[in-house]
Amino acid sequence: MNEIKKLKKLRKKTFFSEKRRSKGSAILIAAAALFLIIGLVLFSMDFLGIKNRITGRAELDTSVLIIEVTQAYCDFTIESGWNLISIPCTADVTAVDEVFESVEDNIISIHGFTGDVQDTWLAYNPSLPAWVVQDLTDISRKGGYWINMQDQAQFSLNRSTATPNYIAVSPGWNLVGYPTLASEEINQALSTLQPNYNLTVIHMANETSDLWKEYSWDPSVSSDQDLIYADPYYGYWIYMTDSDTWVIDW
């Protein structure tokens, strides 16, 4: 009889012990779930750009960049020999042979500048055999390019332009395009880069005496100051003293 009572007491004690453990486990699971939910909420807020301000209000960054694309026709003369050009009527990336189809019979070579010390120049030469790897494969409206021509030819391309344009530039020399068909006074055109640039230079192959034109906003920099307007179809060398972004929104 005593043994039966002892067994009942043992079962009762075991039951309450298991109940306590079960309750403790449930609390731990609930706490872990709560921490997980809080972590996911904080991650989502950071991912979506929501940040708590001092006021305690949540702010969502909803800024949207709108690019206006317009049908456009590019038409200009490329001189024999070396020309420093840009093509506004292209997407950000367009195959080089598609862009220069109208003058392909006169192209000797095209070169793009990267600024990378390991591979400073990219080149395209249509006369090379097909098995040769051409490392200049695409043309961007934001890039400037040297093109060497056998004879003068008329370039034409019916595509589109886009506005606004943002061109990242780095310390040192940058070869950039002018991705718009609208001319602008050079001091106004480059105003978003001040004071982080000190000189811009272009090469005008159609000039007979003075091929190079220069402009600097800084009077302490030696410059001929004979570059008056930023015009389409030219490539521009810009020397930067610091990283910046050139904004072309016209």
Same domain, 180 and 153: yes
**Domain end point (choices 59, 76, 105):** 59
Task: Decide: 240 and 193 in contact? Cβ < 8 Å.
Answer: yes
Q: Do residue 210 and residue 230 come from a single domain?
A: yes
Is the domain of 183 the same as that of 137? yes
Which residue among 42, 59, 76 closes a domain? 59
Q: Can you tell me the distance from the alpha carbon of 155 to that of 147, in angstroms, rounded to the nearest whole number?
A: 12
Provide the pLDDT for residue 133: 87
Half-sphere exposure for 56 (CA within 13 Å, toward CB): 0
Residue where one domain finishes, among candidates 35, 59, 83: 59
52 & 105 share domain: no
Q: Please, are residues 105 and 196 in contact by the beta-carbon 8 Å criterion? A: no
Range of the domain at 155: 68-248
Asked if residue 205 and residue 84 are part of one domain, the reply reads: yes
Judgement on whether residues 54 and 174 belong to the same structural domain of the protein: no
Q: Are residues 44 and 84 in the same domain?
A: no
State the residue for tokens 């996911």.
Answer: 40
Structure tokens at 59: 């702010």
Per-residue pLDDT for the chain (250 aa), expressed as one digit of tens each?
Answer: 554 454 445 444 444 444 445 555 555 565 555 655 655 545 444 444 444 444 555 555 566 778 899 999 999 999 999 999 999 998 777 999 999 999 999 999 999 999 888 889 999 999 999 898 899 999 999 999 999 999 999 999 999 999 999 999 999 999 999 999 999 999 999 999 999 999 999 999 998 889 999 999 999 999 999 999 999 999 999 999 999 999 999 9
The Cα–Cα gap between 62 and 50 comes to: 10
Helices (H), the chain: 2-47, 96-99, 186-189
Number of domains in the chain: 2
* Beta-carbon contacts of residue 211 (< 8 Å; ≥ 6 apart): 203, 204, 205
Q: CB neighbours of 111 closer than 8 A, spacing ≥ 6?
A: 121, 122, 123, 124, 136, 145, 146, 147
Distance in angstroms (rounded) separating the CA atoms of residues 126 and 98: 12
- Concatenating the DSSP letter of every residue in 177-196 gives ----SS-EEHHHHTGGGTTS
194 and 143 housed in the same domain? yes
